[in-house]
Every structure is written in structure tokens, then in C-alpha cells.
Amino acid sequence: MTVPTAARTGSAPVAKPVISSEADILDLAPVIPVVVVDSVEQAVPLARALLRGGIPVIELTLRSAAGLGAIEAVASEVEGMVVGAGTVVTPEQVRQVQDAGAQFIVTPGSPPRLLEAALASGLPLLAGAGTLTEMLTLAEAGLEAMKFFPAEASGGRPYLSAVSGPCPQLRFCPTGGITRETAADWLALPNVGCVGGSWLTPKDAVVGGDWARIEQLAAEAATLRA
């Protein structure tokens, strides 16, 4: 992962990471915020609050009608923030998020047409896998970093720890059911590079514009390391 000259968000200089692979995504921060916004206007101040707290990456999901516009707004207005598109579930959405300026793609699963489109986009991909067969399928496609989803429901830490035996080369971003209290335990696993979590951006804080609270939660998350 290379870091070019400093960009600027507000008054603080921020080095803008450049990612070229899935592995780079896992190294950006201990926690990737998984974010749903109800309006595009929420996205930019939210992303800036995360950045001030020391989290330079965001996964803006397509779970709301504002998702695509939010990706475009953050990608164009928040220097220093690496913008990913989450909950991408169709080949058409792959094209849409790429056009909106997403720097990486996150999928909850990896059916053949979706996987083919995501790989063809050239963007780094965190494809979702919940079983060893799905993980090996993604490895056959050339991916050695992926999303473990839904993490708690798919066997939790014991399952992912067991995976490291036959597949020591694979690294993961577990997402789904991970909390502020359990994140450090997940990060202690040798095959976990980062975790995905929604607790950094509580809905009431986003709706109320409590960016100071989000900045504080990001600062706490930025200190999490195995």
C-alpha cells in the first residue's frame, strides 16, 4: 500500500491511502465502519468525523436509497477517506458503485455472476464467505483476503480460528454481530486483519448529527489492535 502526498480535511493534513489489493483494505484500520445513511447530506460530516477520530476507511452500504449518492459525495468531498461500497449484490450495482467513485467493493456473498462482475471491475474486493467451501472458492479466484459474514452466526471466533489450520494464507474481515466489547477478541485471531462494525455510527448519533460522539467512538476503535 502506498501513501501519496498529504491531502487536507478541514484544517488537519491527512495522508490519503491508496489501495491496490484486498490485503491493503485489511491494513487500513482495526475497524471498518459499516454505515447506513438515510440521506446523502449525512454522509460527508459523518465521514469527516470518522477521519478526525483516526479511521480513514468507510463502507457505505446500499441498504438505503441514499447509499449510492453517499458514496459519490464522500468520494468527491472527503479527502483522506477510503470509500468502499457495501451490500453490493448484483452485477449492475458493481457498475454503479464504480461510477460513483467507490475504491473497493464489499459483497455479503459470492455467487458466480456477482463475483465475476466484481473481479472484472478491477476494484479491490472483500467478497463475503461464511463456509470453508466458499472461502476456498474465493481463494481459487485469486482472493486471499475476504469478508467472513455473518461472523457470529457462521460459527464465530471458534470457526474462524479453525479455518487458519487448513488455510493459513487466508485473511479476513469478520462482519456481523461484532460489537465494541468483542472486537478486540476477534482482532486477536491470527487470520483477522480488521473487523467490520456498525457501532461506530449509531443511528441516533447519525440522525441527530452528533459528530463529536462518532469521532470519539472512532478514536476508541482506532486504538484496537491484537
C-alpha cell at 24: 491493503
Longest dimension (CA), the chain: 48
Reply yes or no on whether 215 is catalytic: no
DSSP state, residue 64? S
CA 157/CA 226 separation, integer angstroms? 14
Which residue among the candidates 22, 147, 152, 215 is catalytic per the annotation? 147
CA 126/CA 103 separation, integer angstroms? 11
Which residue among the candidates 59, 72, 134, 152 is catalytic per the annotation? 59
CA 193/CA 145 separation, integer angstroms? 9
Reply yes or no on whether 16 is catalytic: no
By three-state DSSP, how is residue 148 classified?
strand
Task: Give the active site residues.
Answer: 59, 147
